[in-house]
Amino acid sequence: MKNFTIYLAGPITGKGYEEVVSSYAEKTVYFESLGYNVLCPMTGKSYLRNEIEFKPENYKFPVSTNHAIFERDMWMVSNCDIILADFSNSGERVSIGTAMELAWASLLNKHSIIILPENNVHRHAFILESGDIVFETYEDAKKYLADFIIGIKQ
C-alpha cells in the first residue's frame, strides 16, 4: 500500500520562528500519527531560531536564499500527494509563497486542501479555485484528512 505524503503550507512572513515551528510540529505529529509522510517548508532550518519576524526575501543562509526556498518548496510540492494550505492564522499580509505553492499543486494535479476562514485576506478567486476542497476551520480539514487516509487504507 502507498504511503501518502502531505505538504504543509501556510503563511510564514511576519511570524516568529517559535510560532511557525510549533505550528508545523503539532501538525506533523498529528498527520504522521495517521500514517502520512509529512513535508514541511521549515525542515532543516533550525539555524533561523533567532528570527523574531520572518522576512519575505534576502536571507543569506544557503538553504534560505530566494532561489533555494523557491526550488525546495516547489520540489516538495511536486513530491507530495496532498497539499494542506492553512490560511487560518495569516493576519493581514498576503502570502505570495503559499499562493505559489497552491498554483504549483494545481498545475501538478495534487489533491489540494485549503483552510480559509470567511473574512480572510486570501479570499480570492484564484485561491478558492486552486483548492479541491476549501474548509473554514483546521478541525474540519483534520477530520477530512483522517477520514481520507483511513478510507484509503481499508
Q: What is the mean pLDDT of residues 49-59?
A: 84
- What number of CA atoms fall less than 13 Å from residue 122's CA on the CB side? 29
- The closest of 36, 41, 32 to 8, measured between CA atoms, is 41
Per-residue pLDDT at 38 exceeds 70: yes
CA distance 124 to 145: 24
Q: What is the mean pLDDT of the chain?
A: 93
Amino acid found at 104: W
Orientation of helix 138-153 relative to helix 17-34, angle to 10°: 30
**What's this model's pTM, rounded to 2 decimal places?**
0.94
Task: Summarize pLDDT for 82-139 with one digit per residue, the tens.
Answer: 999 999 988 788 899 999 999 999 999 999 999 999 999 999 999 999 999 999 999 9
How does 47-68 read in b/e, with b if 16+ C-beta sit within 10 Å? Answer: ebeebeebeeeebeeeebeeee
Which residues 6+ apart lie within 8 Å of 109 measured at CB?
none
CATH code assigned at 28 = 3.40.50.450
Whole-number pLDDT of residue 138: 97
Boundaries of domain holding 99: 5-153
When comparing pLDDT for 37 and 46, which is higher? 37
CA distance 64 to 42: 10
- The closest of 64, 76, 128 to 105, measured between CA atoms, is 76
Whole-number pLDDT of residue 48: 85
Orientation of helix 66-78 relative to helix 96-107, angle to 10°: 40
Whole-number pLDDT of residue 154: 65
Give the count of domains, the chain.
1
